Structure 1
Amino acid sequence: MGNNMNYSADVSEDIKKSVLKRRGAAALVTALLAAGTLAGPTVVEAVSAPSHAPGSAALLPTDVVINRDVTFRGGVPVGGWYSLSIFPSGAYNYSGHMHDSGWPSYNFAGACVVRFANGTAFVFETAGRMHGTGESGSRDYNWNRSATRHSIRDAYQASGGGWNARCTSKVNADLNALVNSTIQGVGYVTQVIAILA
């Protein structure tokens, strides 16, 4: 009977140690997130509401997937959507649709910056014109770009999948200024790789 009691005590000690290790690991992850060492998806958009709470994080995701509806304030009659998917293989797809339903024409500029935990930032940018009622031409601006980049695959592997992102969309704005401000929003960057759509 004494042996059984010792065995039970040993099992209890092992369970206690396991629980303490898990608590320690959870505390470490929380501290790393707070310090900005680890980052999950956080999307900020000047003209469209995010579909999840700012600051929500998914540690070490398999894929980067950002889908947003876009509307503009101030009575601007332009709206649409965009989607960005990036995969550990290095494959990506950046697509979207914007529509001008008003009288004036507009130039659209959009940028998504995805910074992996190793500091490499990928800039997905697009720009195009939508014609209003007062000008001949298409009311729509569409883009769809898919390819595979070894540099994306390498950044995934070097970062263990950790990433942070920021996307912005504007009308009648300078694309270069939009891209630069979006890059600044993702934190410290060691390398920038541009991908045009």
Structure 2
Amino acid sequence: MSVESSTETTRAAKTLEDHEAAKNARAAAQMPGLSSTETTRVAKMLEDYEAATHTRAAVGLSVESPESFADGRPSLANRFADAVQTPATYPVETAAAQQLGPWDTGYFGFPSGVAVGGYSNLVLYSNGAYNCSGHFHVSGAISYDTSFVWAVRDSNVPAVVYTFAHTGRVHGTFEPGSRDDDWGKSEILPALAEGWPALWTHWNYHWEARVNADFSVFLDDIVKLVAAGTAIAKVVSVFI
């Protein structure tokens, strides 16, 4: 692009900007009963509202399975795993006592004045069954896109990462729709049953909730975070 065309583009953009500003000023001036000070306040409120609709915020937590007790005894999970040396011919369903969780986020909220809160829980079973559910609620005027993910890494090197993810929307005062975003799913995941031994041996997980996130980027971020720099063999993804 030449300097001349660049200047013309800048002028055109400035003209459009001035036109929009003038249009808004005329609309504000036509508001009956408002003083210039009140009109300025209304304009500022609208500006703040528009900015708030694009606010991004996140909250999350990482947890790793304990290796041992302080006195050197193996952890309960490892003691149980050592005690149940299941023959290969044993039906996997008989190990139903083996489960991880339920893991619960507890109630979480967001910083930056985002009036959204929620919670989620996840439980995994050795036969490949899982249950994942959660909830978002908005209590303010602004609407938000919501995203949540559990990412669980096993002990393999390279590792297998299991993700349980949800995306939705909560509607504030100024938008029709529900203030609540509820989700839940229970089913058998064959890959979970197949990979159970490595998951039972050692695991770590990270959960994270975000508002107004780019979902694909968000999911990729959390997979990398839970992998903690180790190579990843595959990602088993569940969308709820």
What TM-score, normalized by structure 1, do the two folds share? 0.70
Q: Which runs of 4+ in 1 moved over 4 A?
A: 53-56
Shift of 1:194: 0.8
8 Å Cα contact 1:81-1:97 kept in structure 2: yes
Q: Which residue of 2 aligns with 1:64?
A: 100
Q: Which residue of 2 aligns with 1:123?
A: 163
Shift of 1:64: 2.4
The structure richer in helix per residue is: 2
In structure 2, the CA distance between the partners of 1:145 and 1:135, relative to structure 1 (3 Å rule), is same
Measure, in 2, the Cα distance between the counterparts of 1:173 and 1:122. Answer: 20
Unmatched segments (≥5 aa) in structure 2: 1-57, 68-74, 79-97
**1:173 aligned partner, one-letter code:** A
CA deviation map 1:110-139 (0-9, x unaligned): 111111112211111100010000011100
Measure, in 2, the Cα distance between the counterparts of 1:122 and 1:192. Answer: 6
Q: Which residue of 1 aligns with 2:82?
A: none
Unmatched segments (≥5 aa) in structure 1: 1-45
Q: Which residue of 1 aligns with 2:130?
A: 92
What is the aligned counterpart of 1:78 among 112, 116, 124? 116
Total equivalences in the alignment? 149
In structure 2, the CA distance between the partners of 1:56 and 1:153, relative to structure 1 (3 Å rule), is closer
CA deviation map 1:11-64 (0-9, x unaligned): xxxxxxxxxxxxxxxxxxxxxxxxxxxxxxxxxxx515x5xx965626547422
8 Å Cα contact 1:72-1:79 kept in structure 2: yes
Q: Which has the larger radius of gyration?
A: 2
In structure 2, the CA distance between the partners of 1:179 and 1:134, relative to structure 1 (3 Å rule), is same
Q: Which residue of 2 aligns with 1:191?
A: 234
Q: Which residue of 2 aligns with 1:140?
A: 180
In structure 2, the CA distance between the partners of 1:158 and 1:80, relative to structure 1 (3 Å rule), is closer
Indicate the RMSD between aligned Cα atoms, in angstroms.
Answer: 2.0
Percent identical among aligned pairs is 32
